[in-house]
Structure 1
Amino acid sequence: MARRVLVASRNAKKLGELRRILAEAGVEGLEIIGLDEVPPYEEAPETGATFQENALAKARDGAAATGLACVADDSGIAVDALNGMPGVLSARWSGRHGDDPANNDLLLGQLADVPDERRGARFVSACALVADGREIVEIGEWPGRIARKPSGTGGFGYDPLFVPDGDTISAAELTPAEKDAASHRGRALRALLPALSALAQ
């Protein structure tokens, strides 16, 4: 029987990403479920100063509340011209949590006078796994730059503004497979694969 692993998220795209990465690596014996599939529990606010702290807090909460192995990620975008902000505040940069259009509009406004050569940025993801008394956190980074206007309808968050290094199209214009292969979360999740594989034994 497959071992259930909770992903501390209600974002179907994040669940799909982990399922695809496990399948691609040939990891079997794990059933990936999201927060909508377990009884509600109190989730601590994201007050950490780093992506690592927030990811680990979410994974600890999920594991403690459900007794399941739990994977959680905290991710965002770090913009060079803004000294690494929005960073951990990415999802609520405009003041409302998860308002992607408002967050994108605010970021574009803040960078309006910044020349192309200084629009460097990177997506950062910390993925934490809490299981069987062990805690593991892996970091993935995806370097690129902020475009002048959004393009593409795939992805979420700042994807329409982010052009990965070596690309001419935004992250929102990549296929799911292309994004998995390159993205910050994909890199962090792949770094967790040895630990996830061990859970399936």
Structure 2
Amino acid sequence: MIDVVLATRNEDKIREIEHTFKVEGVVLHRLSEFGDIGEINEDGNSFYENALKKAQIVFEATKMPAIADDSGLEVDVLGGKPGIFSSRYAGRNASYADNIHKLIQEVKHYPVSQRKAVFKCVALFYHPDLTLHEEGIVEGLILTNQLGKGGFGYDPVFFLPELGKTFAELSLEEKCEYSHRGIAFRRLSEALKQNLDKIS
């Protein structure tokens, strides 16, 4: 058995990752099981850089392999914003509601057909002997009215035309099937299954 730490304290992310990331022989541990390792400054220039930094810091603190992700929303008419700043779009300590409000204000003057966006997630496994990463991307549209009570972040305004629903209108099972994070962590699960023997 290999013990692996989830390099996040975000309970919403943890719930989705635990639902999606399943590898026989791997036991997931929450960061809360360990002492305070301090705040991790996500100052990378890409989702990959931020995920790698989080995983490396958690590995150094726990001496256990770590999995991390970084994700965000990229809106075409906003030139790809909020991007890597998605979680703090309305400010460093912004709430989900604050970020959604700012986004709606910036896109409300565009017709819905022009409010194309993608959700991206980089899921990463880190151990000194092995680093793996996978990406998940989902295309959708940004609404100016919020729909649904589930999910978190921008989920109430991220609309999937193929389903006719926002992420927030999906069950946990449905969201993990269709979401960027679900895709990325399923791919990471498969990649790790093929490479477990490389970890000493």
TM-score (normalised: structure 2): 0.91
Q: Residue type of the partner of 2:7?
A: A
Cα gap change, 1:98/1:155 in structure 2, threshold over 3 Å: closer, same or farther?
farther
Deviates more, 1:133-142 or 1:100-109: 133-142
The match for 2:102 among 106, 125, 138 is: 106
1:149 equivalenced with 2:145 (yes/no)? yes
1:121 equivalenced with 2:117 (yes/no)? yes
Cα gap change, 1:199/1:97 in structure 2, threshold over 3 Å: closer, same or farther?
farther
1:130 equivalenced with 2:165 (yes/no)? no
Query: Deviation per CA, 1:157-192, whole angstroms, max 9, x where unpaired?
Result: 000000124122110010111111111011111111
Runs of 4+ in 1 over 6 A off after TM superposition: none
Aligned partners of 2:17 and 2:97: how far apart in 1?
25
RMSD: 1.8
Q: Residue type of the partner of 1:65?
A: A
1:9 equivalenced with 2:25 (yes/no)? no
Q: Residue type of the partner of 1:79?
A: V
Query: Deviation per CA, 1:107-151, whole angstroms, max 9, x where unpaired?
Result: 000111011110000111011110242112211101100012111
The corresponding residue for 1:164 is 160
* Partner SS state of residue 101, structure 2: helix
Aligned partners of 1:124 and 1:195: how far apart in 2?
18
Deviates more, 1:54-63 or 1:92-101: 92-101
Aligned partners of 1:125 and 1:97: how far apart in 2?
21
Aligned partners of 1:97 and 1:54: how far apart in 2?
18
Deviation at 1:14, TM superposition (A): 2.1
Q: Residue type of the partner of 2:177?
A: A
The corresponding residue for 1:81 is 77
Aligned partners of 2:21 and 2:74: how far apart in 1?
27
The corresponding residue for 1:174 is 170
TM-score (normalised: structure 1): 0.91
Q: Structure 2: where are the runs of 5+ without partners? A: none
Contact 1:22-1:28 within 8 A present in 2 as well:
no
Aligned partners of 1:188 and 1:52: how far apart in 2?
12
Aligned length: 197
Equivalent pairs: percent with the same residue?
Answer: 37
